[in-house]
Amino acid sequence: MQTILFIPTNGGIGLTSACLGFVRALDFLGIKAGFMTPFSQSSSDNTLSQSSVLMQNAFHLNPPASISRQHLERMLGNDQLDELMEEVVEQYQQIANKYDVIVCEGLVPSNDSTYAEQVNVAIAQALDAKVIFVSTGDLAQPNAIADKLDIYARDFGGLDSERTLGTILMRVKGIDEVHDVDFGGPGEALLGLTQDQLQQIHQHSPSFGTDQFHVLGMVPFSNSLSVPRTWDVANVLDATWLNEGEAKSRRVVETKLIGRSVANIEGAFNRGTLLVVAGDRDDIILATALATLNGVPLAGLVLTGDLMPNDNVVKLCRNALKSGIPIMSVKTDSFDTAQRLVNMSYEIPDDDTERAIEVANYVAAHLDLEWMKAKFSNNSTNPRLSPSAFRYQLVKKAQNAKKRIVLPEGDEPRTVEAAVICQSRGIADCILLAHPDDVKEVAENLGLTLPEGLTIIEPSSIIDRYVAPMVERRKGKLDELQAADQLKDTVVLGTMMLYLDDVDGLVSGAVHTTANTVRPAFQLIKTAPQYSLVSSVFFMLLPEQVVVYGDCAINPDPTAEQLAEIALQSAQSAKAFGIEPKVAMISYSTGSSGEGADVDKVRQATEIAKAKAPDLLIDGPLQYDAASVMSVAKSKAPTSLVAGQANVFIFPDLNTGNTTYKAVQRSANVVSVGPLLQGLNKPVNDLSRGALVDDIVYTIALTAIQADSSDF
């Protein structure tokens, strides 16, 4: 286990962002990283620092409480630095044995904390920590960057010391290409110093940029990540909510101070725009409501001057309010309000987990993953497939597959946005079934540009070509008139396109029920020859690892033979997505401890599966705790090769499976990807009607991988 102390050379350069990105990169590599902030620099009474809370929320870590600033200064004033470091070591011991690497955030130097340098040196010595400096600079002046680091490194033995590992340069100026929108996965946007820059630096600092003192990454400033929530804006302005709406999820990309009439405003009614206007401007309020009803997701409306809109205007806007647009009132005038927004801090609030994750991903994309892997992976006793690595793997495999995925709900806003993302990133070639004008209108309202290669097909224009093949496929059950009528349903139409290999996969369910999505697949695609049924799995992205749950969506009460088949299908799915399957057949008893028809079914299913796949690691019946917790497994199933380390969980019936996955998902705030349907001749996947855009993107990726794999 190694301990890494992050030391900033300045305030306000992104120390916490650097730590977030570093932990994200370690997580991607399967290296378990812990985090601690020994000392809080806030004057608040919170036991956890802001950065610790962000780490807790973003990565499900459990950092120890920070020592308060008041206590720190009192101990230093009493010349009790040694005693203070004993407290730091005590903090450290709370997490020391749980992780491969501990990331420790040092104190930020400021006018109010002139002791930061002294304390950081003491922390490094007390924890025997290696040091990574977080700095900044302009590439036009490379010597200045090196000189600053050289000065800070002297306290730790210099740039060539064994204690100083290197630096992460944040908010770097002078980088021509900024990877801002699609910056890729960890390590994929790595930027380096030019030979000329290195030569200039080496004249003064020979160790800089070498193995002795490595440049882990250079991270450009990103405007797209400095986007507060509308909720944060309201807090800064001390605003009164007239309609809170989706204030905690909408983000302020741009602020517009409105002084002109509606007819003379350009570019105001766009996605992510926060409108600032006097509270008596009925024309702007009504125009905002109209834009909202047309599907434009504005960041919100700020009504200034402590003026309330007319009651009649409020009545006219009532339906618009239901769309979630945030509306707030402030006492200051429009100009003063705009000025306060200009001066607003863009630090990440400790409850803004979404933004923390985005920042972590952005920084991680610019870090040297190969260096980190070589430096820290040897310490990892239990390399694992982390949730972030799993998601990244999905995207990469889908990009390599280059498959065509049809989306029958082609003008549904979330689906359109997901299709734009997938097409732009090369995850899949998407085909939207909808009228092109409708799709263009949705895209315009969302502020999206439809990428080249995105196919939009008017459904009525292609129905005729699928009538005869559908009649043939359902011979004796449909005539041409009935087939033509059913093909007006875009899900049925998309399924026929899949049947005839015009596309490689289908994703639906954002507005359709599971039955609407699955029924045409059963009728037209049918089950694969080696299987007798269709089942489903969810990939559960637990904090420590990714596990598979099946069947949680399709089969209400499978027989022993069917349960065995579900287990084999699920093991194949796990393997296809990089998880070496260890299958636990779940029951209310473990081994031979319980009796009854339900347990006997699970026991019989396990034996059938073992006979069909003798090389598969599978065991049952196992209780969930015996399957997942090693300490329980040692007492309940000490000889089992699966107990305590299962990663594929097969539930005895749909009631158990569906309840368990939703309980884990909601109670533990776990992301689930799926359901992935198994056993069909060709990939068809269903969405939850509450699916987010990211959910649709990952489901499209899953479908593309299925279409490219022989394991299904």
Residue 389 has a pLDDT of: 74
Residue 28 has pLDDT above 70, yes or no: yes
Tally of CB atoms within 10 A around 118: 13
For residues 435 and 46, what is the distance between their CA atoms, to the nearest angstrom?
A: 54
| Per-residue tokens: 614 | 């003798």
Residue 184 has a pLDDT of: 67
The edge-to-edge listing of strands for the beta sheet with 505-508 is: 455-457, 429-433, 404-407, 505-508, 684-686
- Cβ neighbors of 212 (< 8 A, separation 6 or more) are 159, 160
DSSP 586-618: E-SS-TTS--SHHHHHHHHHHHHHHHH-TTSEE
Q: Which of 174-178, 282-286, 396-400 has the lowest mean pLDDT?
A: 174-178
3-class secondary structure, 123: helix
Residue 110 has pLDDT above 60, yes or no: yes
User: What are the angstrom distances between the C-alpha of 275 and each of 262, 283, 295, 298?
Assistant: 12, 13, 16, 8
Cβ proximity of 279 and 286 under 8 Å:
no
Cβ proximity of 571 and 648 under 8 Å:
yes
Cβ proximity of 686 and 508 under 8 Å:
yes
Cβ proximity of 670 and 540 under 8 Å:
yes
Beta-ladder partners of 535: 678
Cα 394–chain centre separation: 12
The edge-to-edge listing of strands for the beta sheet with 648-650 is: 617-622, 582-586, 648-650, 546-550, 535-541, 671-678
What's the angle, vertex CA 482, arms to CA 476 and CA 487, rounded to 5? Answer: 115
User: What are the angstrom distances between the C-alpha of 200 and each of 147, 230, 343, 677?
Assistant: 12, 45, 37, 58
CA dihedral 232, 237, 241, 245 (to 10 degrees): -30
* Chain segment 142-173, per-residue pLDDT in tens: 788 888 888 888 889 888 888 999 999 998 88
Residue 218 has pLDDT above 70, yes or no: yes
DSSP letter at 513 equals: -
Mean of pLDDT over the chain: 88
| Per-residue tokens: 292 | 């909202």
Residue 16 has pLDDT above 70, yes or no: yes
Residue 180 has a pLDDT of: 47
Q: Give percent above pLDDT 90 in the chain.
A: 50
Residue 653 has a pLDDT of: 93
| Of residues 228 and 671, more confidently modeled | 228
Residue 711 pLDDT grade (very low, low, confident, very high; cuts 50, 70, 90): low
For residues 473 and 99, what is the distance between their CA atoms, to the nearest angstrom?
A: 57
* Chain segment 338-357, per-residue pLDDT in tens: 889 988 887 888 889 889 99
3-class secondary structure, 326: coil
Secondary structure string (H, E, C) spanning 293-338? HCCCCCCEEEEECCCCCCHHHHHHCHHHHCCCCCEEECCCCHHHHH
* Chain segment 598-651, per-residue pLDDT in tens: 899 999 999 999 999 999 999 989 999 999 988 899 989 889 999 999 999 999
Tracing tokens 């990714």 back to the chain, one arrives at 546
DSSP letter at 158 equals: -
With CA atoms as reference, report the closest residue to 312 among 334, 285, 274, 278.
285
Residue 181 has a pLDDT of: 46
| Per-residue tokens: 367 | 């870090």
DSSP letter at 390 equals: H
Residue 182 has a pLDDT of: 54
Tracing tokens 């101070």 back to the chain, one arrives at 257
Q: Which of 341-345, 399-403, 542-546, 591-595 has the lowest mean pLDDT?
A: 591-595
Q: Helix (H) and strand (E) counts for the chain? A: 27, 22
For residues 278 and 260, what is the distance between their CA atoms, to the nearest angstrom?
A: 11
DSSP 683-711: -EEE--TT--HHHHHHHHHHHHHHHH-S-
For residues 666 and 509, what is the distance between their CA atoms, to the nearest angstrom?
A: 20
Residue 179 has a pLDDT of: 45
For residues 314 and 292, what is the distance between their CA atoms, to the nearest angstrom?
A: 14
Q: What's the average model confidence in pLDDT over 286-296?
A: 90
Cis ω for the linkage preceding 309 (within 30 of 0)? no
For residues 309 and 622, what is the distance between their CA atoms, to the nearest angstrom?
A: 63
Residue 712 has pLDDT above 70, yes or no: no
Q: What's the average model confidence in pLDDT over 697-705?
A: 93
Cβ proximity of 406 and 58 under 8 Å:
no
Residue 121 pLDDT grade (very low, low, confident, very high; cuts 50, 70, 90): very high
Beta-ladder partners of 405: 430, 505
For residues 632 and 11, what is the distance between their CA atoms, to the nearest angstrom?
A: 48
Residue 481 has pLDDT above 50, yes or no: yes
Tally of CB atoms within 10 A around 233: 26
Residue 602 has a pLDDT of: 93
* Chain segment 177-201, per-residue pLDDT in tens: 554 445 567 888 888 888 888 888 8
* Chain segment 229-248, per-residue pLDDT in tens: 999 999 999 999 999 999 99
With CA atoms as reference, report the closest residue to 509 among 501, 521, 497.
521
Q: Which of 183-192, 212-221, 329-338 has the lowest mean pLDDT?
A: 183-192
Residue 597 has a pLDDT of: 84
Residue 364 has a pLDDT of: 93
Instruction: Give strand ranges (E) for 227-293.
Output: 240-243, 254-257, 273-278
Parallel, antiparallel or unpaired: strands 505-508 and 617-622: unpaired
3-class secondary structure, 490: helix
Residue 471 has a pLDDT of: 93
For residues 658 and 453, what is the distance between their CA atoms, to the nearest angstrom?
A: 38
Print burial letters for 267-299: b (CB count within 10 Å at least 16), e (below 16): ebbbbbbbbbbebebeebbbbbbebbeeebbbb
